[in-house]
Amino acid sequence: MFLRFLLLICATGIFNFLTPAVSQTINYNKLHEEISVLNGNNQHEKSLIKLESIISDPTSSAYDKYHAYLQKSLVYKQLYNYTGALTNLQNAYQEGQKTEHKLETETCILIERILIHYDLKNEKELLENLKQVDASLLHYVKKETLAFYTCVLGQLELKKDNVVAAEKYFDEGIKLLEKENPKHLPVLYKAKIQLYNKLKSKQKAQEAFNKGFNYAVKYGIDLYRIMMLESMIFYYVENDDYKNAYEVQKKVSEERRQYDAANRSGKLAQLEKEFLQDRNLVESSNQKKVSLLYVYVILLLFGLIITLFKLNKANKRGRLSTERELELLHFRLQTDASPTDTHGSMQPLRAADTSKLTPRHLKIIELVREGKTNKEIAAELFISDNTVKYHLKTIYDLLEVNNRSALM
């Protein structure tokens, strides 16, 4: 009973350990939009907490974690923490390699790296990554990200003074964002201000600023409002309008003081440390579970060994019992065919027959008549099986019988 209980506990423990929890279902587009809204409202800590819940969840797939790390890179990028952004892109890449979506994940990560290297003015890395882009795979990239990528291509053309090609790229990006996600339009209108500045078109530059700034105010995105103001500073400086440049610079300084990207980034770093501590605790807990699993397995194996031993012993007893029954049956058949006394009992040995027998011989004959096997006789007399066989041979010779049946 105890053995069955032990086996049941072991089996239940292993089942509970190995049975996976029900995995969560993640809508990746909804996740992206949720994180985008939180970032736009300067709630970057909430973004990280949301994404960490996916990364640390044991039921999350590698594809889930890829999306979470990709979104984390955007959080850090918005705070100008490009080191954190690139680190999370690398984590996203590693998770993406574990999925069946390698082309998709590699393409999206490549485009995000291009955008970061452009912001950092890492020309060498930027050009190397641009060479790796396969235009046939760009359908994997989100439309808004594709608009930013198009903006980078336009900026590169503008740098080469190809203003027509640059404007074409900028307009293409604006169309994408107007249809997909207009809150990011300030990025493209900032690029247009630079274009019109190069063309010395003050009116168009002012119009581009007004459009971009209005979108930033409409969607309440502080970073874009700061970005638009900064673009006008450069515009005024290029046109020797230092008075307006100074006025706008004061606004930007105040806006940046309130935004305080460095402080926000520091808070995220502290939050990441807390996440790391939590992960270490989870890993420690998992190690304990593995150790417990080993104990379950050992107990289960021990229980199985005991069970097999008992089964083998029971089979052995059953086999010996069967042999004994067969010998008794054989004995009854022999005695039925031999002469009996008036009471039907076996004939006793004649005095002449027993004169040469020792007490040990007589005891063995008595045990044989009781139907015991050689092994059972040996056990009862504390002698070996071979000694029993030797005594039986001697008894057969003295009594002039040929076998056990004749003796009985």
The answer on pLDDT for 215 being more than 60 is yes
Residue 152, both tokens: 């980078």
The answer on pLDDT for 341 being more than 50 is no
In angstroms, the CA 366 to CA 348 distance is: 11
In angstroms, the CA 153 to CA 144 distance is: 14
In angstroms, the CA 98 to CA 339 distance is: 89
Span 229-238, average pLDDT: 81
The answer on pLDDT for 235 being more than 80 is no
In angstroms, the CA 226 to CA 213 distance is: 9
Listed in sequence order, the residues at least 6 apart from 41 whose beta carbon sits closer than 8 Å to its beta carbon are: 220
What per-residue confidence (pLDDT) applies to 54?
Answer: 93
What per-residue confidence (pLDDT) applies to 171?
Answer: 95
Place of tokens 């890179």: 73
pLDDT band at 127; cut points 50, 70, 90:
very high
Q: Which tens digits make up the pLDDT trace of 299-333?
A: 888 888 888 888 887 777 766 666 666 655 655 55
Listed in sequence order, the residues at least 6 apart from 373 whose beta carbon sits closer than 8 Å to its beta carbon are: 320, 323, 324, 327
pLDDT band at 158; cut points 50, 70, 90:
very high
The phi, psi pair for 325, rounded to 5°, reads: -65, -40
What is the fold, at CATH topology level, of the domain defined by 351-407?
A: Arc Repressor Mutant, subunit A (1.10.10)
What mean pLDDT, rounded, does the chain reach? 82
Q: Coil, helix or strand for 10?
A: helix
In angstroms, the CA 197 to CA 236 distance is: 9
What per-residue confidence (pLDDT) applies to 269?
Answer: 67
- Lowest-confidence region among 47-56, 139-148, 318-327: 318-327
- Lowest-confidence region among 6-10, 40-44, 136-140: 6-10
The torsion angle over the Cα atoms of residues 130, 185, 66 and 89, rounded to 10 degrees, is 50
What per-residue confidence (pLDDT) applies to 99?
Answer: 95
CATH pick for 2-280 out of 1.20.1250.20, 3.30.56.10, 1.25.40.10, 3.40.50.2000: 1.25.40.10
In angstroms, the CA 113 to CA 135 distance is: 16
CB 215 within 8 A of CB 183: yes
Q: Which tens digits make up the pLDDT trace of 65-112?
A: 999 999 999 999 888 889 999 999 999 999 999 999 999 999 999 999
Span 154-181, average pLDDT: 94
Hey, where are the domains in the chain? 2-280, 351-407
Residue 145, both tokens: 């990200």
Q: Which tens digits make up the pLDDT trace of 384-398?
A: 889 988 888 888 888
Work out the burial of residue 202: count CB atoms within 10 Å of its CB; fewer than 13 is exposed, 13-18 middle, 19 or more buried: middle
**Where would I find the H helices in 260-384?**
261-336, 351-354, 359-369, 374-381
The more confident residue out of 50 and 289 is: 50
First to last CA, the chain: 43
In angstroms, the CA 68 to CA 325 distance is: 75
What per-residue confidence (pLDDT) applies to 296?
Answer: 77
pLDDT band at 16; cut points 50, 70, 90:
low
Q: How many CA atoms lie within 13 A of 142 on its CB side?
A: 17
Q: Which tens digits make up the pLDDT trace of 342-396?
A: 343 445 555 445 677 888 888 888 888 888 898 998 998 889 889 988 888 888 8
pLDDT band at 132; cut points 50, 70, 90:
very high
What per-residue confidence (pLDDT) applies to 115?
Answer: 95
The answer on pLDDT for 294 being more than 60 is yes
The more confident residue out of 303 and 261 is: 303
Percent of the chain surpassing pLDDT 90: 38
Span 140-145, average pLDDT: 94
